[in-house]
Structure 1
Amino acid sequence: MPALAPDAVVVVEDRVGTRNRVARLILANGPTTAADLAARLGLTPAGVRRHLDALLAEGLVEAREQRVYGHRGRGRPAKVFALTGAGRSVFHHTYDEMAIDALRFIAQSGGESAVDAFARRRFVGLAERYRSLLAGADPAERPRLLADALTADGYAASTRSTASAPAPGKHPVQGAQVCQHHCPVQHVAEEFPQLCEAETQVFAELLGTHVQRLATIAHGDGVCTTFIPVPPTPVTAPPDAVTQSSEQSEGAPA
């Protein structure tokens, strides 16, 4: 096979580098449209399409319809691109097969309660490190601080303000979502969801509030998403209003 000319090598390396950037953006941001990828990378839509087509052909990316929360407008939802299991495995996965075999042995030897105990213990060290980061922080800032800590540990996490779906007869709850775009133990958690459950419990303890896990990568979702209600900010009446209210109360007939 003839060797590539130097100019051709540069072109190939550039294509591979851009393709990796496309994959990493999808990893960091979750399922993403081609238009958004093009804007973030400074490429034309046609240019980013070529890289997406290559990733699709290699089985590293899959196309799916964008999920719409709340009211859905007319027309079909935009198509988004998400990493497949093979695509995620290109990034950080640690000894998946060995971990699965070990947990199977634990389950066979000690039962499901032993797996629960292992999953809980796995997050003890992580919880201790995160607790010092969140101690004394404003409750409204804790989701962001948690996301920053998770990102440092390889979870590619982010936050966004949102509201929960209202229960019948109740108003939506304001809060934040912590989105983990990468799961280092995805393949293990697919068989042992106790890992996800233990992680959710640790989040609740660290944040000092009930949290709700909305989606997990291990369950086939594009992103692990946890809803965290944020306490409402107390509304303080202006001094004049307080004085006026007090005077009205004093002047009111008994």
Structure 2
Amino acid sequence: MQDHTKKSMLGTRRRILQLLKVKGPLTADELSQELRMTSMGARGHLTALERDGLIEHHTQQRGMGRPSYVYSLTDQGDEIFPRTYPQLASSLLDALRALGGEEAIDRMFEKRTEWVEAQYRARMADKTLEERVKELARIRTEEGYMADWEVLDQDTFVLREHNCSICQIARQCAQACSFELELFRRVLEDAEVSREKHMIQGDLMCAYVMRRAKGARVPSKRRPPMAAKRN
């Protein structure tokens, strides 16, 4: 596909998303009129956008006759439009610091850590240390940190995060990283957790080493249950 054709297609799909954002749910015919193209052409773009998870369709009764298919943005599609979450969070931290100083910042991060700890623990219940490290990597990836993990030996694991979802906040507020490390130590309480690499310090990733604490029980391999004897 030639570059100008590809750019035209992407421009049309961007325009469809903008129309759905501004005007709300629209039919393929309504979109084709807005775009000044055939209904078949509009449907081709709609199919691609729906496949990418950016829009969805449902039936809606509009006057007399059969219900129509109308298209609307999904949450994923809505998120492509500009957001100012980092700027808002930054200004809120500045306001909190002005009102209560560093102690207020500490209390805020402590409360957040308690909330997140409860969420993490709910997903890690009844798991071994290795299973919890694996689950932690999964949770962090879901939160945008692009995490992976590795077993170094039966007592040592490493968790790497290749993206920082709170980078702007972390640069402004050292407590963000400190309480993140504290969070890991709480949910992996039978391990010694240390941060070996830190993006804020110029490393390409954040890397954490989890070593099983001395005296912590090493789980034995589970054996399959024995078949019951029959008389």
Q: What TM-score do you get using the length of structure 1 for normalisation?
A: 0.50
Cα distance, 1:225 vs structure 2: 1.3
Q: Percent identity among equivalent residues?
A: 23
Question: For residue 245 of structure 1, what is the aligned residue in structure 2?
Answer: none
Q: How does 1:155-194 map to 2 (within 5 A)?
A: 155-162=145-152, 174-194=155-175
- Partner of residue 121 from structure 1, selected from 101, 111, 117: 111
Q: Secondary structure at the match of 1:111?
A: helix
Alignment RMSD (CA, Å): 3.2
Question: For residue 97 of structure 1, what is the aligned residue in structure 2?
Answer: 87
Q: Which has the higher contact order (CA 8 A, sep 6+)?
A: 1
Cα distance, 1:12 vs structure 2: 6.5
Uncovered stretches (5+) of structure 1, i.e. residues with no partner:
1-5, 14-89, 164-172, 237-254
Cα distance, 1:103 vs structure 2: 1.0
Q: How does 1:1-254 map to 2 (within 5 A)?
A: 7-9=2-4, 95-162=85-152, 174-208=155-189, 209-230=191-212
Q: 1:235 to 1:111 in 2, by over 3 A?
A: closer
Cα distance, 1:94 vs structure 2: 5.8
Q: Is the 8 A contact 2:160 2:205 kept in 1?
A: yes
Max radius of gyration: which structure? 2
Q: Distance in 2 between matches of 1:180 and 1:213?
A: 11
What are the Cα deviations for residues 81-131 of structure 1, in whole angstroms up to 9, with x where unaligned? xxxxxxxxx9x9862222122112212221111111112222333211110
2:132 counterpart letter in structure 1: R
Compare 195-204 and 123-132 and name the one that shifted more. 123-132
Q: Distance in 1 between matches of 2:152 and 2:118?
A: 28
Report the number of matched residues: 146
Q: What TM-score do you get using the length of structure 2 for normalisation?
A: 0.54
Cα distance, 1:235 vs structure 2: 11
